[in-house]
Amino acid sequence: MTPSLRTLVGGCALAAGMWILSAPVNAGVPDLPKDSSKKAADADLAFLKLRLAELAPKEKPVDGQVKPALGAAMMLAVYAEVLGDANLKTEALKIAEAITKKDFKGALEMSKKLSIKPAAGGKVAGPMPKLNKYELTEIMSPFRGKSVGGHNIDRDIKDMVKTMNPTKIDPAHVEILAVRTAVISEFAIHYPNDKASVNAGNKAKWEKWSKESVDLSKQIAAEASKGGKADVKKLKMMLTNLNARCTDCHNAFRDDE
């Protein structure tokens, strides 16, 4: 039985089920701005180091804290492709592998040596990174609330687009959020869950909403990267559309239990 989607990521999840990335993967790294990807990489590396420092001394770490750490390591490997940083990709995947083996102390020591060094020139186009065993709950974990170890993406989006007393939109925060959602949605495209795989119609919906989420996220990141010159009204409209794509997919493909 696949995990309940409510349990996985709340209202902004794209699906429920399991991704095993040992099979060939055709998903390409999303064409994200290098500057925005560098900011997201810096943020996720800091998050990863902090989380691993919390996990390393514990005999039985809370599962909800482990998954976001693995998710952050895999997202760093994606940013590395965009930045053309081969060493970052290699080391991030080593850290991810150590986390799957529950070697949190080893992962922590590797993370302390990790640095981000974008290559000069154009971006490197490559496939999405693979791990021998990787589940939906890890890659979707950034959507989870901060209290359960995530980046609070789901709640942040909903708070910014609500009608009454919305949270003020901060372009700097939204830029990183959008890069993260683009990467997560790109992973999702090629891994439909059981409900999405029942027939061609369901699979088409899954792919459509996932691709739309990638495209919207890229547009949001591009606008937010303008900083103080960003069009806040435009950002809110696009965030509203992104939230709608998340809700559509959640309502159609979540587990009913």
- The rounded distance, in Å, linking the Cα atoms of 26 and 140 is 19
How does residue 189 score in pLDDT terms, banded at 50, 70 and 90?
A: confident
* Tokens, residue 163: 């009608």
> The pTM is what?
0.85
- CA 21 remoteness from chain centre: 15
CB-based burial, 65-90: b 16+ in 10 Å, e otherwise: bbbbbbbbbbbbbbbbbbbbbeebbe
- Angle between helical axes of 86-100 and 104-112 (0-180°, round to 10): 160
Q: What is the dihedral of CA 250, 127, 50, 20, to 10 degrees?
A: 60
Q: pLDDT tens digits, residue range 148-188?
A: 888 999 999 999 999 999 999 999 999 999 999 999 998 88
Q: pLDDT tens digits, residue range 69-82?
A: 999 999 999 999 99
pLDDT of residue 140: 80
